[in-house]
Copies of this chain bind each other. A is one copy, B any other.
């Protein structure tokens, strides 16, 4: 996998012995955007969800002073019209219009409506695209849906993706910070799926640089949706939810108070563990432990890693086979009759609400058993992605960095629902589906083995962890991290 650009400066990084091409962003490059967008007079941003409402103003601001116009397209009667107007997109100025009109009149169409809407409307959308248009996506769900419908993108258009590694709110907030703070902005991956114009790569890179991405990595559309949907069902949302529920219960059964059980499970993962991993990597977390703690970590790790590996393989198969996408579509059809319930109403999260009220942020426990369990499941995902051939930059982002820098801070601030339900419907459904599986498998096999058959634990696993190439990858990725926290509350 590689790419050519004459507009931007490609650099190579070496991750675990693999060379990956990247593009460094920055405001000083905004002057090159007209060249990257050669042939584009109008960029249509379709929708006003979290990504659209961040990307449209970012691109408009980056392109101010050029002839390239950024126009927002909404469906007739959209409830978001006022919000788009308040952000400066106006019918009377020609920068706000009906979605199909905008699609048909734009040269670059960023399709940022919900997954369910993409699945429902893609035929009409494809029909409205003119030949030579570049269709832009911010993740690969639509490709997954087309795959399972036995359909494809229309010929004669470009299909590219730019996928910011953070929530929409962060994409806008860090862009604004970037005006003053060097290196602020959200990293992104990009993919070229179809290149009808011969300009697809430059346009995708221009889009990413225009959004303010400090670094842009390469992937494919398929690799992106496989790792994205799998990651959020595994360690990013579903996995971590199942982990903390099972650990909380375990600590309660061991006699800890509600608050202490919350401190040693949720607070430990979302506080010191995530902060340490973010700063010093997974190996840095391990090195912070003293020898007796390292032994506890090793036991929990040896028990939890097989669970992470098994369930991430299962999830990956379900995503790759199209099952998971079909599931999301079917669930969408049931939502009006069976709306998603609240996931934070049981005793544990009520106790958490109390526990969060008097929390000494600097002295939260770094529980070694919790750390071993969390890292074990996380590494099960990392190794699944390696086995499936994903690029290391994607593996690090979708398994580790997004967890510690982007998502766990939400759970830290206001509990599990604030993390999960700030994500897409696809992610919220997936997390609800898989969290209980992690909980059960950890309880049935991992903890039961630690408690009753510790001799059966594979002690070589933590050795493999210590020597894992992911640590060097995380070290390099850390150097390319935005210079400010990407968590926006």
> Hey, which bits of chain A sit against chain B, CB under 8 A?
249, 253, 309-310, 313-314, 317-318, 321, 323, 326-327, 330-331, 334, 337-338, 341-347, 350, 432-433, 435-437, 439-441, 443-445, 447-449, 452
A344 to B452, CA, bound (A): 13
Total copies of this chain within the assembly:
2
B313 in contact with A318 (CB, 8 Å): no
B345 in contact with A317 (CB, 8 Å): no
CB-contact partner of A346 in B326, B347, B447, under 8 A: B447
B346 in contact with A334 (CB, 8 Å): no
B249 in contact with A343 (CB, 8 Å): no
In the assembled complex, the CB of A456 is this many whole angstroms from the nearest CB of chain B, namely: 11
In the bound complex, residues from chain B placing their C-beta under 8 Å from that of A448 are 345-346
CB-contact partner of A342 in B321, B326, B435, B445, under 8 A: B445
A334 in contact with B347 (CB, 8 Å): no
A343 in contact with B435 (CB, 8 Å): no
Residue of B nearest to A448 (CB): B345
With A444-B346, A445-B345: A338-B313 Cβ-Cβ less than 8 Å: yes
In the bound complex, residues from chain B placing their C-beta under 8 Å from that of A346 are 443-444, 447-448
CB-contact partner of A253 in B314, B347, B437, under 8 A: B347
With A253-B347, A317-B330, A330-B318: A445-B341 Cβ-Cβ less than 8 Å: yes
In the bound complex, residues from chain B placing their C-beta under 8 Å from that of A313 are 334, 337-338
A437 in contact with B444 (CB, 8 Å): no
Residue of B nearest to A451 (CB): B347
CB-contact partner of A343 in B330, B439, B444, under 8 A: B444
In the bound complex, residues from chain B placing their C-beta under 8 Å from that of A309 are 338
A447 to B342, CA, bound (A): 12
A437 in contact with B445 (CB, 8 Å): no
B443 in contact with A437 (CB, 8 Å): no
A317 to B310, CA, bound (A): 25
- Subset of 18 A-B contacts with CB under 8 Å: A249-B249, A253-B347, A309-B338, A310-B334, A314-B331, A318-B327, A321-B326, A321-B330, A323-B330, A341-B441, A341-B444, A345-B444, A345-B445, A345-B449, A346-B443, A346-B444, A433-B437, A436-B439
Residue of B nearest to A150 (CB): B150
A82 to B313, CA, bound (A): 37
A440 to B349, CA, bound (A): 13
In the bound complex, residues from chain B placing their C-beta under 8 Å from that of A441 are 341
In the assembled complex, the CB of A167 is this many whole angstroms from the nearest CB of chain B, namely: 24
B342 in contact with A444 (CB, 8 Å): yes
A448 to B310, CA, bound (A): 31
A344 to B444, CA, bound (A): 7
In the bound complex, residues from chain B placing their C-beta under 8 Å from that of A321 are 326, 330
Contacts A317-B330, A343-B444, A433-B437 known; list 15 others, CB within 8 Å.
A249-B249, A253-B347, A310-B334, A313-B337, A313-B338, A314-B334, A323-B326, A341-B441, A341-B444, A344-B444, A345-B448, A346-B443, A346-B447, A436-B436, A436-B439
